[in-house]
Amino acid sequence: MTNARESLDNSPRQLQVETHGLDVIGDAERKGTPRTLFWPWFGANVSILGLSYGAFALGFGISFWQALIAGVVGIVFSFLLCGFVAVAGKRGSAPTMVLSRAAYGVRGNRLPSVISWVLTVGWETVLCALATLATATVFDRLGWGGGTGTQVVALIVVAGLTVVGGVMGFDVIMRLQTLITVVTGVLTVVYVGLVADHIHWSTVSDIPAGSAQEFIGALVFMMTGFGLGWVNAAADYSRYLPRTSSSRGVIGWTTFGASVAPLLLLVFGLLLAGSSTALNAAVAADPIGALTTILPTWFLVPFAVVAVLGLVGGAVLDIYSSGLALLSAGIRIPRPLAALVDGVLMIAGAVYIVFFADDFLGPFMGFLTTLGVPIAAWCGIMLADLLLRRRDYAEPDLYRPDGRYGDVPLTPLLLTLAATAVGWGLVTNAAADWLTWQGYLLDPLGLGGKSGAWAYANLGVLAALALGFLGTLALRRGRVREQEAQVDAV
């Protein structure tokens, strides 16, 4: 903790609104070590929401051990993808969705930028809404009133913290995440100790095992709920590290910082949800608030603090990156204004979830799976492109349509569309009425159709990731070599 604080507090700059947008971070402003990446990634993923994923996983009809394995593999593998993408930030000094231009071209990259923007705005909206619902539930249990008035005030406070952090930018976010990490980490440990007696191993161990298809579905859901929800922003913080920083260190600290809290929370969440069918069912309607039903009254206020801070920690990173994605999509406004615009959309979406939506889990799973497919395709293409490159990015050409990376190269765009089309054909979302068109390839490929055993295995996410990665390795190697040769000539 001392090293992380020293690396941040020794900055010669006072806290102020960050003016950087899509521009390259100069060497004079790059600071810290890969170890400092632990704080933003841990702070963004230490949310109490991680406990609720235990109920989500068991909802696939699998046993405790199957859910545990699916969770561990899904969480670590998906955040490892984030670690690899984070290396691009060190090598290119620009936001993730600008570095993506090396693969997609300067204007061709607007397609994945729009997808990235929708995903991050969606996530910040979900986190803001959950923090509001959790606060209202706590106030209701305390007898202070958890109705509309409380929800409105809670939404204002949560949205205010999130928007201010996103508008202020990198330095404020890094310091805020360090604070959130310490507070939420300590209070989460206290929560675990208080509710440990609600765990009944005999009940948990009696949960029957599910099929291989159900196991795969849970694993992919964990991937989309954790690392695949962050890959499109993974280089936004590593770009501030010195160019000489260890790539292994960037990968390791990003993966470790992001994974350690979700892994611990998942284990405990599985034990709690597996011990009580009532709690398991309640989590689907109010993922955070349901966890208060087993708490002593005196800890409800500290629980509200840890819940809100944990969710705000993730929302702040999302709103910062969503603003950058909006700029990368071609909107020409200052970065702080872009974050403010996204904040307004976040508030509107949170209002709908809190005051009008009847169900949370169904639309949430549909959102994750549907956007998880094109993001997985983009991730595969981005990682393969990064793997093919032997040199750092030629940063000026990331901003010039006539530069070595091109303007609108067709191959990556067509590959993204093809991988997405295949992916959407292999996933289903029956809980969300507006997504029932998906799964159109399950019957032609002999996988049992939309009601068969493979219907909820979410194979489309894995297919899109693999097609994007392998397709880029096969089709873009020569083009990357040409680009690298131009770098040699400069």
Give per-residue pLDDT as tens, 77-92.
Answer: 999 999 999 999 999 8
Determine what percent of the chain is predicted with pLDDT higher than 70: 92
pLDDT > 60? residue 487: no
Mean pLDDT of 89-102: 92
Mean pLDDT of 171-194: 79
pLDDT in the model for residue 431: 66
Contact, 234 vs 89, CB < 8 A? yes
If pLDDT is split at 50, 70 and 90, which confidence band does 142 have? Answer: confident
pLDDT > 90? residue 21: no
Q: What is the pLDDT of residues 194-227, one digit of tens each?
A: 999 999 999 999 999 999 999 999 999 999 999 9
If pLDDT is split at 50, 70 and 90, which confidence band does 408 have? Answer: very high
pLDDT in the model for residue 143: 83
φ/ψ of 206, rounded to 5, equals: -85, -5
Average pLDDT over the chain reads 87
Tell me which amino acid residue 380 is.
Answer: G
pLDDT > 50? residue 67: yes
Of 54, 103, 113, the closest CA to residue 331 belongs to: 113
Mean pLDDT of 299-317: 83
Residue 306 exposed, middle or buried by CB count within 10 Å (0-12, 13-18, 19+): buried
Q: What is the pLDDT of residues 339-383, one digit of tens each?
A: 889 999 999 989 988 888 776 667 777 888 899 999 999 999 999
The mean-pLDDT minimum among 111-125, 132-146, 161-175, 234-248 falls in 161-175
pLDDT > 70? residue 253: yes
Which residues, 6 or more positions from 344, have their beta carbon under 8 angstroms from its beta carbon?
Answer: none
Could you please report the per-residue DSSP string of 418-435?
HHHHHHHTT---TTSGGG
What does each C-alpha distance from 98 to 120, 344, 395 come to in angstroms? 16, 24, 10
For CA atoms 112, 113, 117, 120, the dihedral sign is positive
Measured in residues, the chain has a length of 490
Q: What is the pLDDT of residues 31-63, one digit of tens each?
A: 889 999 998 888 778 888 889 999 999 999 999
pLDDT in the model for residue 79: 97
* Side-chain-facing half-sphere of 152: CA atoms under 13 Å: 3
The mean-pLDDT minimum among 164-178, 271-285, 448-462 falls in 164-178
Contact, 386 vs 88, CB < 8 A? yes
Q: Say how far apart CA 297 and CA 425 lie, in whole Å.
A: 48
Q: Which tokens sit at 279?
A: 């709690």
If pLDDT is split at 50, 70 and 90, which confidence band does 9 have? Answer: very low
Q: Say how far apart CA 450 and CA 440 lie, in whole Å.
A: 8
pLDDT > 90? residue 176: no
Mean pLDDT of 4-18: 46
pLDDT in the model for residue 289: 80
User: What is the maximum span of the chain, computed from C-alpha positions, in angstroms?
Assistant: 72
Residue 198 exposed, middle or buried by CB count within 10 Å (0-12, 13-18, 19+): middle
Q: Say how far apart CA 156 and CA 160 lie, in whole Å.
A: 6
Q: Is 471 helix (H, G, I), strand (E, B) or coil?
A: helix
pLDDT > 60? residue 2: no
| Cβ-based neighbour number of residue 465 at 10 Å | 28
If pLDDT is split at 50, 70 and 90, which confidence band does 23 have? Answer: low
pLDDT > 90? residue 269: yes
pLDDT in the model for residue 245: 92
Mean pLDDT of 455-482: 96
Of 280, 312, 300, the closest CA to residue 139 belongs to: 300
Tell me which amino acid residue 382 is.
Answer: M
Characterize 328-345 residue by residue with b for buried, 16 or more Cβ atoms within 10 angstroms of its Cβ, and e for exposed. bbeeeeebbebbbbbbeb
State how far Cα 158 lies from the chain centre: 19
pLDDT > 60? residue 187: yes
Measure CA of the first residue to CA of the last residue in the chain; give whole Å: 42
Determine what percent of the chain is predicted with pLDDT higher than 90: 52
pLDDT > 60? residue 454: yes
pLDDT > 60? residue 427: yes
